[in-house]
Structure 1
Amino acid sequence: MLQREAQRPPLISHDVPLPRYRPLATGNAYLMWIAVFVGVALVLWFGTLGLRHLVGPDEGRYAEISREMLTTGDWVTIRYNALKYFEKPPFHMWATAVAYALFGIGEWQARLTVALAGLLGIVMTMLATWRWFGPRAAAFAGLALLAAPMWSVAAHFNTLDMTLAGVMSCILACMLIAQHPDNTASQRRTWMLASWAAMGVAILTKGLVGIALPGLVLVVYTCITRDWNLWRRLYLLPGAALMMAISAPWFYLVSTRNPEFLHFFFIHEHWQRYTSNLHARGGPIVYFVPLILGGFLPWIGLFPRICAAIRLPAAHRRTTFRPALMAGVWAIAIFTFFSLSHSKLPGYIVPVFPALGILAGVALDKIDARAWRKQLMGMAVLTSCGLLASPVVATLNANHTPNMFWRAYAIWAALAFVLMLLSIAVSFLLLHRGVLRSVAVYALGMYVGFTVALLGHETVGGPASGASLAPQVKQILTPGMKLYALEMLDHTLPFYVGHPLTMVGSADELTFGAEMEPQRAVPDIATFAKDWAGKAPALAVMSPQTYLELSPALRFYVVDRDWRRVVVSNRPVPLPSR
């Protein structure tokens, strides 16, 4: 027994210099296999973008902001429902508006930016891994990110978090590539300037975190390694100038046109959000732990090997730079930064995953068939538990969503786990053909399973989107007509009807915009009632409860309704039959 234990290879050797790379197999059959794999993955990646309706609040919000940006032609002052909206910078909305201009306004166009950002993150992560650890490790890193649900699912939700994560992956990858000792001075400068340019885009995507997080990582890394010479290779002055040239013009223009912007954006949306529970988005210190474990679930058994990979020495004899440690510091520092914040949302942690992908690629590159078989067996147990627990979904009544929608989603959840189990079984059968093929099939199966679970969410998200009401509403709504929102901010209906809301009473997250431009909102129900009784035709959307409370006193003609909202007119209108 002791002899067998002694013969087992260590997780990762620290005594033998790390080889530069282990080549991939070549040959026409192998290349055809790769082409089919990549083709299937890309078809699923982009082909599923328009198969679900938008989900509020984020998807509807950023889709509508981009639509209003395109239709008004104002690319500087961001508006949401015609009110100033200064919570986030414009890059994501710019990119989405360009997608609308090129391909038309629709659901897949609204998600195209995040899909491209997610794919960019995979490509850049593979490129950095290839440069330091070889093509085989790069292939594993790409597979790790593809199968990580926090990455692949986020890349199909229209949110700023995925766009930021894709840009942040470029910052990390370009910086890692720049530090390789085989680079010429010109190559190092080019890659570092690309990293600085990505920081400028990151600032334009979500503010100061675009430079604060990479800066934090560099400080922590140099404190650990004492490699102060690294700062001489960062090209600080030209890099900072490039970053400012990319990010500063919009900040100058928007603050010139809107003097209130600087205080709201930097004090309210940065400092107060991080240091206080201003937006009621707090959470415990361990808030992101289950998100990391669940978001990297297919590779959860690799965490001991990932930790070992972080401790690897310099990967090249001619440098003291440690790319694996840098990736580990990136993941841990960003995780810690957001864990300490008083404002927490699940998407904040997405930029961690490219670094985990690099480390997983290094770990998988060193794994043998016996160890990988154990990983598959552990995941088979977890997936079987998920399948057995899937009926619990049918009992949910969460997020104010009727149980009947969750019952429908339970079938999709069970199907997703079945597909994952099948992929694990096929991976077992292919293990004799090599670890790489087995891991590839496993990763694709996990990705397909999570994609099915995501598509199945349409049973919950679709009825909540208001898309079913849009045809009826659009036949009545004209460009100059008011569409009031009574005591509610509907995040998805404006996109589907192509018309902004006029807020009545509580403006929710648009309170700042309503205060800045009170003429664009209605302060209370009493004022609304006077406008509603006027000669101008108008529509209004409200919750069923608000409708029951106001309908005895106000003249409401129901246009259409669903379980979340009622749309009414202030005068009788001929409604077409469905």
Structure 2
Amino acid sequence: MPSSRGSGEVLVDRVMNEGELDERHQSNIATRRSVEVVVLAVVSIWAFFTNLTFSLLEGSEGLYAGIAGEMGRRQEFFDLTYQGIPYFNKPPFFFWLLNASTTLWGDHELALRLPGSIAAVGTIVLTYVLASRLMSSTAAFWAALTVATSHVFLWYGRRVLFDSTLTFFITLALFAWGYVQLLGRSSWWYLLSFLSMALGVMLKELHGFFLPMLVMVSYAVIQRDWRMFKDKVFWIGLSGALVIMAAYAGMLGQGYQHHFHLGAAVKVIWNPTASGPPPEGHPFYWYLGMIWADFFPWSILLPSTLLLFWARRPFPNRSVEVLSLIWVFGLLIAFSLATMKREPYLMPMVPGFGLMVGYYYQHVLSLPERQTPMPIWLRLLLGILALLFAVGIVIGPLLLKKRWLVPPDFVPPLFIAVIAAMSGVLLYAAIRSRLHLAHYMVGGLAVGFMVTVVNIVFPAIDQAFSPRKITEEIKLLAREGQPALFHYIPGWPKNEDAVYYLKRDNVVPELPTPDAVAEAARRHGTIRVVTEEQHAVTLEKRTDFATERIREFRQPSRKHLWLLSVRSGA
């Protein structure tokens, strides 16, 4: 009896200990998940809601801000103009968002960039939730961190551009579709998917419909899964999306109808000269090179991720792998076939790439660190990444000086030391085959890259020769007194950002034509005129007034402005 009672007590103790260990394990998982969510929240807010007030850059921001400004001043929301010229290049939905934001918060950079930043963070959230449902919280954390800190998403996601918002709508469409197709949730999620596609079309033509549909149909074909085509809610959602798109197109003028014609969309997407560079643009293979820079620093893990996916074949039995690969490479092929190729166009690929990286990290971090040696090629790639960061933080400012006219010493020495130290740890981990440490350091350097872009590079550009700084100098000259100062930049300018700042207030009045310049000179005797190079040449050819170049305002990409003295010849 004593022996039996002792065995029973031991059994009870063992069960209780296992229960305590299980509770402790669950508590650790919950704590880790909470920490990951906090880290993602901090990184996302830092990346997309800080330093939004720097100058508009690279032309397109000023162009879109100018169109939204003219929309507000004219109170005409369906017929867009720029510099008084009808603008048919894009549908008006995006400019409605900009106008709504500036109406609420004022006409300034923060309000203009807020819609794009909100969309970027929304994409990060969708990526996290989708990855957590399809894989695990670990995969979700690394997938979302990849999206938040990839170069293309950081550089363009917080700007006055279409691509961040389009990426959100495409991601939301695939998120809702995946809830039905991969997770077996209610078919009513299809309605949200098609609503997102309709909004994507309203934002930026038929891209918003065909890109997510390409992923959906390709997945169905590869998996031989035809359930969505047999679901009546799918067809209800498709019909509703077509109704929304048709109603939207019907509200717009004739000049916008080409955005909604299937033939025009196919003509734009398919490039018959794919074997070589098209008349205007890049060759078919251009994006194959650009993804290494635009997905930096996570692109260094792309070979490892693809090899892991290959090792897990056959693919038809693995829904997550199939979805990720189609999302990235299906869109890559579609973008490569398009005539026009631009870096921001790659943004819709980033959430899919994030799913691939999350899948890879889930596998790597499940392996025992000391018992799992890294392959030599992985150690080499991680070593190259460490050297890129160590060297880049030093010579990068010199390259930016050439492009953005910034001073070569704008990076704080302490920050250089921190990045160099983190690079050293990554190099050590690669040499010593410390699997987990090396991959954690990739994430740490990605966050460091985000801080570099947001808190160092953008402010340096803003303080150097940004359009806002130059136009502030011009407005200061106008306030100082005579001669009267005007701007003459008719038609479509080269420096759209500077024109936006000059027209945001009436400190420097506009002269619309050379005759108006002549009349102002006759009235004042001598005036000063700010203009661009091509318009300065036009004014210098006039015989009814004398023109002298006083000062050049240097701008990136040779979009310089000139200050002229114009003296009446009458």
TM-score normalised to structure 2 length: 0.75
Deviation at 1:196, TM superposition (A): 0.8
Distance across 1 between alignment mates of 2:475 and 2:99? 24
Residue 33 to residue 112, structure 1, CA distance change in 2 (3 Å): same
Q: 1:394 aligns with which of 388, 394, 398?
A: 398
* Farther off after superposition, 388-397 or 122-131: 388-397
Q: 2:496 aligns with which of 482, 491, 510?
A: 491
For 1:188, the equivalent position in structure 2 comes to 187
Deviation at 1:465, TM superposition (A): 1.3
For 1:298, the equivalent position in structure 2 comes to 297
Distance across 2 between alignment mates of 1:287 and 1:453? 24
| Cα deviation digits, residues 227-277 of structure 1 (max 9, x gap) | 23342248332112332344333321112xxx3332477599745544479
Matched, 1:379 2:377: no
For 1:214, the equivalent position in structure 2 comes to 212
Deviation at 1:285, TM superposition (A): 2.0
For 2:28, the equivalent position in structure 1 comes to 26
Residue 239 to residue 203, structure 1, CA distance change in 2 (3 Å): same
| Preserved contact between residue 409 and residue 456 of structure 1 (Cα < 8 Å) | no
For 2:113, the equivalent position in structure 1 comes to 111
Matches within 5 A, 1:143-292: 143-183=145-185, 187-189=186-188, 191-233=189-231, 235-255=233-253, 259-263=254-258, 266=261, 270=265, 273-274=268-269, 275=271, 281-292=280-291
| Preserved contact between residue 196 and residue 242 of structure 1 (Cα < 8 Å) | yes
| Preserved contact between residue 483 and residue 540 of structure 1 (Cα < 8 Å) | yes
Deviation at 1:26, TM superposition (A): 3.3
Deviation at 1:362, TM superposition (A): 1.2
Distance across 2 between alignment mates of 1:65 and 1:104? 15
Structure 1: state its 5+ residue gaps. 1-22, 502-519, 573-578
| Cα deviation digits, residues 27-81 of structure 1 (max 9, x gap) | 7864774465245314422443325211021121122222222333222222222
| Preserved contact between residue 538 and residue 570 of structure 1 (Cα < 8 Å) | yes
Deviation at 1:176, TM superposition (A): 1.2
Deviation at 1:328, TM superposition (A): 0.9
Q: 1:72 aligns with which of 65, 71, 74?
A: 74
Distance across 1 between alignment mates of 2:75 and 2:49? 30
Q: Which amino acid aligns with 1:179?
A: Q
Matches within 5 A, 1:351-500: 351-367=348-364, 368=367, 369=369, 378-388=381-391, 390-391=394-395, 394=398, 405-406=405-406, 408-409=407-408, 411-412=410-411, 419-423=418-422, 442-453=442-453, 455-460=456-461, 462-470=464-472, 472-473=474-475, 483-485=487-489, 488-499=493-504
Deviation at 1:568, TM superposition (A): 5.2
Distance across 2 between alignment mates of 1:229 and 1:351? 25
Distance across 2 between alignment mates of 1:307 and 1:115? 30
For 2:553, the equivalent position in structure 1 comes to 562
Distance across 2 between alignment mates of 1:521 and 1:79? 15
For 2:14, the equivalent position in structure 1 comes to none
Considering Cα pairs closer than 8 Å and 6+ residues apart, tell me whether 1 or 2 has the greater RCO.
1
Deviation at 1:492, TM superposition (A): 0.6
Structure 2 SS opposite 1:165: helix
Deviation at 1:203, TM superposition (A): 0.6
| Preserved contact between residue 129 and residue 138 of structure 1 (Cα < 8 Å) | yes
Structure 2 SS opposite 1:542: strand
Distance across 2 between alignment mates of 1:428 and 1:29? 30
| Cα deviation digits, residues 372-418 of structure 1 (max 9, x gap) | 9776774343232454365376267856x6xxx25x25754998775
Instruction: Choose 1 or 2 for highest CA Rg.
Output: 2
Distance across 2 between alignment mates of 1:134 and 1:314? 21
Residue 207 to residue 24, structure 1, CA distance change in 2 (3 Å): farther
| Cα deviation digits, residues 282-309 of structure 1 (max 9, x gap) | 2122211222122223333432443356
| Preserved contact between residue 383 and residue 417 of structure 1 (Cα < 8 Å) | no
Matched, 1:330 2:340: no
For 2:137, the equivalent position in structure 1 comes to 135
Matches within 5 A, 1:63-102: 63-102=65-104
Distance across 1 between alignment mates of 2:382 and 2:225? 39
Give % identity. 18
* Farther off after superposition, 52-61 or 194-203: 52-61
* Farther off after superposition, 157-166 or 419-428: 419-428
Residue 463 to residue 475, structure 1, CA distance change in 2 (3 Å): closer
Q: Which amino acid aligns with 1:335?
A: L
Distance across 2 between alignment mates of 1:284 and 1:372? 40
Structure 2: state its 5+ residue gaps. 1-24, 480-484, 555-559
Deviation at 1:469, TM superposition (A): 2.0
| Preserved contact between residue 131 and residue 358 of structure 2 (Cα < 8 Å) | yes
For 2:531, the equivalent position in structure 1 comes to 542
| Preserved contact between residue 386 and residue 426 of structure 2 (Cα < 8 Å) | no
